[in-house]
Chain A
Amino acid sequence: MLIPCPHCGPRDVSEFSYQGDATRTRPDPASTDMKAWHDYVYNRPNPAGPHREYWQHAGGCRVHLLLTRDTLTHEVQAVAFARAGLNEGAGKP
């Protein structure tokens, strides 16, 4: 499986570290809504099909990527830097 890193170009999956579900939003740090925290920490959508997920290019540029990848075919459908600020002005690898 290849992951097209916006900085490094397509690289072998072995260079990446999977960081899981990207649909979660961390509650406000001061929040005491235990249900929201529980949902954030433990629950996952786990779809069979397109999945939004984070990958870190740990064996490369170290940046976290936001991917949409089909869990049935492993096809990567979209990729961007997780940190939105990096996507502005990012060139083609």
Chain B
Amino acid sequence: MVERVSPLGEAFRPGTYGNLAEGPGVTLTEATPAAIAEASAFPGSTEPLLAAIETVTGLSLPATPGAGAVGDGAAVFAIGPGRYLVSGAEGLSASLQAAVALDIGTVTDLSHGRAALRIAGPRAEWVLAKLFALDFSPAAFPVGEGRATAHHDVFAHIQRTGGDQFDIYVFRSFARAFWQELCAAAEETGYEVG
């Protein structure tokens, strides 16, 4: 299989940057799930769709807005009513497609279409708050949950994948611009790329 090229190009430069007076406040990386897919249920079919997702990924989650789950090598979260962004192993879309019946919903492969950027560290909430009008506090945005939002023209699907870690899925064509935006926002706290 041919390797997927990162959309970040030379904008991805490992090292430490910005104000490092108190050490880097965040670490920025590119999470590279083997596959990304959107699975969507027709109205009234969310439960069977979630069952199919569980069959494929082993992750179960309630049919509530914003719900999500993170597991070993897979993650899933709601991005709209009955709509889920799933990341996981190679062949994910085909497996999901096989598990979702025609009248339940649809599956669309987005492995190339989205880039997943990861921000982690004690100042992650602060840096993200510069870019998104979302309440990133743990009470409002618990681990595993997901949100669909936008930074100006850049759509973003965000999942909290750890206590101070977030994965941000953006359209591939915007990934480099958004990465640069993220780096700029993190200069104040200092950041490490790696």
Contacts and interface: CB of A to CB of B under 8 A. Distances in A.
A8 B147 contact: yes
A55 to B, nearest CB: 14
Interface string B53-97: 000000000011110000000000011111100000000000000
Interface residues of B, number: 19
A91 B147 contact: no
Nearest to B153: A59
A60 B81 CA distance: 11
Interface stretch (A10-18, A26-34, A43-51, A71-79): A10-18
B63 A11 contact: no
Interface in A34-93: 57-63, 81, 83, 85-86, 88-93
Contact of A15 (B65, B80, B81, B150): B150
Given A60-B149, A89-B63, A93-B66, A7 B133 contact: no
A24 B149 CA distance: 29
Contact of A11 (B78, B149, B155): B149
Interface residues on A, range: 20 to 34
B80 A7 contact: yes
Contacts of B66: 7-9, 93
A59 B43 contact: no
A91 B82 CA distance: 11
Given A7-B65, A11-B149, A61 B133 contact: no
Interface of A: 6-9, 11-12, 14-15, 57-63, 81, 83, 85-86, 88-93
Given A7-B80, A86-B43, A89-B44, 17 more contacts: A6-B65, A7-B78, A8-B148, A11-B133, A15-B149, A15-B150, A59-B149, A60-B148, A60-B149, A61-B79, A61-B148, A62-B83, A63-B80, A83-B43, A89-B46, A91-B63, A92-B64
Interface of B: 43-44, 46, 63-66, 78-83, 133, 147-150, 155
18 contacts: A6-B65, A7-B80, A7-B81, A8-B66, A15-B149, A57-B148, A58-B150, A59-B148, A59-B155, A60-B148, A60-B149, A63-B81, A85-B43, A86-B82, A90-B81, A91-B64, A92-B64, A93-B65
